[in-house]
Amino acid sequence: MLENKIQMINLETKNTANAGSLTFFESKNDIPFEIKRIYYIYAVPAETVRGGHAHKKLEQLIICLHGKIKVILDDGNERKDIVLKKPNCGLYLSPGLWRDIVYLEEDSLLFVAASEYYDESDYIRDYDEFLAYAKGR
Ligand code: TYD
């Protein structure tokens, strides 16, 4: 079930009256993995689709820090759309999920915490290859 491969995590947040909010999370304590890499995607024109790949090993926590982003997930059997728009809401993605990511609003900012260093050989960028990989798991 795709539901078992993802998790919406409400990140702990300190709200201060008239002085904004602070959200935080710690490796292993608040998310299921140790963070090795952080990256973020920004300055994407509205309605642009990025992603279009799956990972074999990588675990990620993705957060829409600003704007609105739709994540279209596919585990080879099921599909699910999730709209992210809250900076205190993290979406955990386990390995083996194809994702298309639609940047719905101008200036949307996607922040990603990842469990591994960048490794192009961890990517599956061909959808048919992904389907074969998902069936064989
Ligand atoms: P990619 O993960 O395909 O981004 P998106 O899914 O948003 O389109 O990465 C885009 C390019 O950036 C690709 O050439 C790989 C490179 N890249 C790195 O060099 N290091 C990284 O940590 C990441 C995430 C990507």
Inter-CA distances, 68 with 19, 20, 33, 48, 107, Å = 23, 20, 25, 12, 9
Q: Which atom of ligand 1 is nearest to the CA of 110?
A: 7
Q: List the beta bridge partners of residue 92.
A: 7, 61
Residue 16 C-alpha to ligand 1 middle, in angstroms? 36
Ligand 1 binding pocket mutation candidate from 35, 36, 37, 39 (most atoms within 8 A of CB)? 39
- How does pLDDT run along the chain (137 residues), one tens digit per residue? 999 999 999 999 999 999 999 999 999 999 999 999 999 999 999 999 999 999 999 999 999 999 999 999 999 999 999 999 999 999 999 999 999 999 999 999 999 999 999 999 999 999 999 999 999 98
CA separation for the pair 19, 29 (Å, rounded):
27
Does 55 qualify as catalytic in the annotation? Answer: no
Beta bridge partners of 39: 112
User: Within 13 Å of residue 74, how many CA atoms lie on the same side as its CB?
Assistant: 18
